[in-house]
Structure 1
Amino acid sequence: MFDIYAAFERILNDGQIATPLAAILALTELLENSDAGTMFELVKALNDGAEALKQKSSNPISINAGCELFIAFVTLFPHDSDNFTNLKKELILQGQNYAAEALTYRKKIAELAFGFIKDGSVILTHSYSRVVMQTLLLAHKRKRISVFVTEARPRGLGIKTAEELTAAGVPTTVILDSAVAYVMDKVDFVLVGSEAVVESGGLINAVGSNQIAIIARAANKPFYALAESYKFHRLFPLSQYDLPSHNSKILSFPRLPLPDSSTPETTSSVAKSSTSPPTQSQPDLVSPKITQEQISQNNPDVDYTRPDLITLVFSDVGSLTPEGVSQYLVGMFAG
């Protein structure tokens, strides 16, 4: 039996392939291995495969975007095939061709965004993004730029960005996530990547992006997002808690053991402790150890940035306002 998640992980091992694209390629392989004999069966198999991918991911947003795009493509694909077998072959070929073409999108976006980068620019970026890296390295070849990079806790991927930029000769400084407001006056604009761009024109990206956008707006600095079109997602969150990645464990308070007040001994001891001054015979309270792993598990990986905080979205389909993203999404899924 075909294991779609194993195929997805194998494809994702290629450092150039983003999560939505890996999901598309995994669904394409599912088509190759499917014994569906009708379009209804084929679409059902794709939906089941997409659901299997989502269930095994703690952050299914990018997977959802890729699966949604591919299933819509299969459903709306115009064809003149004389039988279902030929149609399946055509769909597989189109899926593979799309993936090959999608690998060129970062270069298109980098060249588009390059026109907005002036010589001598000081840029603030957040976390790690392949399309942002390609844009910054292109700008470094032709212009003078300097880059501030946030640490991007809890995953700390900003360190990876800083290391790669420094190795390429780009003047780079790592700043604390809590120092964004401190450094914003030195910045010409903010440049971030994306996990997804949603139907409202808002952005889902590494946690911290939202507060950077709020600070940039307060300082009257442009906030630019870079996103390949396969990251456009038919999702309309109204708050942070509407994201598919949110669960009840995020930012929850730990449950502390309480004394059992139902027994006389406990009641009297509690009353005594509340009225009597502490004595040397009473043991000191031991503070619990809080680890970085516990902090990471109790915090979100991504957050949502409202469209009114975003200046432009640079994509392979052009430079779009948040309203333009909404219009493009409607057209993309309308056939």
Structure 2
Amino acid sequence: MTPLRGITFKILSVCVFVAMSAIIKATSDDVPPGQAVFFRSLFAIPVIGVWLALRGELHTGLKTRDPLAHFWRGLVGTTSMGLGFAGLGLLPLPEVTAIGYAAPILVVIFAAMFLGEQVRLFRLSMVALGLAGVLVVLSPRLQVDPATLSSRETLGAVIVLLSAVFAALAQIFVRKLVNTETTSAIVFYFSVTASLLALLTLPWGWAVPPLHIFGLLVLAGLLGGVGQILLTTSYRNTDASLIAPFEYTSMILSIMVGYTIFGEVPGAATLAGGAMIVIAGILIILRERQLGLKRTQQRKAGPTNPH
């Protein structure tokens, strides 16, 4: 494994996903979230298919032992995506990014609840810090003063937080899936499932977008596929615990894109709360890496001889 190569692919994937989010935000006034999910998922499929074909995994990589598990993972993940896309139309990009960072924090809680993983005092403390950061980011949107309260932005904050909850649940499903399924199958069948599920939103009204909006939606799908490939490649090259902290570069990129393209200036609550969430997330990752190294050393040492 080559750490620098893995880190490079990780940062590239973050850049691509931020660009995709910006495109979805730019089209949010023209198409509903369900339609955006459809385009993002459908046009990711050919990109992923070509990638698998080039790797010689198109046939073997798409075999599955548990189709129903892919459906449930797809249902939860698609719900998260749809809520996230809806939130992009209601809140500034940096704020959506900051609230989205709650997902890895929530994974720790859900892993203890559903997978029986042990959560010791350090991780509990970091989870508390991260959730406190989420509350700080949300605080301006949840004020009770009618003079400052915006129902649109309050709704956006709640929607994005729910998106983070479903994203965390999706990660729990993925943790179970990796025991029996290949990464290729997980990536491919999620895009297929999301495309089909998005069609269920047709009765709520889909728009016939102008040509340039249609092009942007197709581009969002292509970028989604490319981003998923870059992300998968990064984890093939380097330990997850080493490259995971680079996910938080998306905050810097979101602030830059939000200011440059949408004229958004993040407030003090977004910056302060986002920093708390980032610190908590990075410390959890570093702690997990430290524990992982200790377990590896113990396995290499083997059982000790009491005599």
Question: What TM-score do you get using the length of structure 1 for normalisation?
Answer: 0.20
Question: What TM-score do you get using the length of structure 2 for normalisation?
Answer: 0.22
Rg comparison, structure with higher value:
1
Q: Whose strand proportion is higher, 1 or 2?
A: 1
Q: Answer 1 or 2: higher relative contact order, Cα 8 Å, separation at least 6.
A: 2
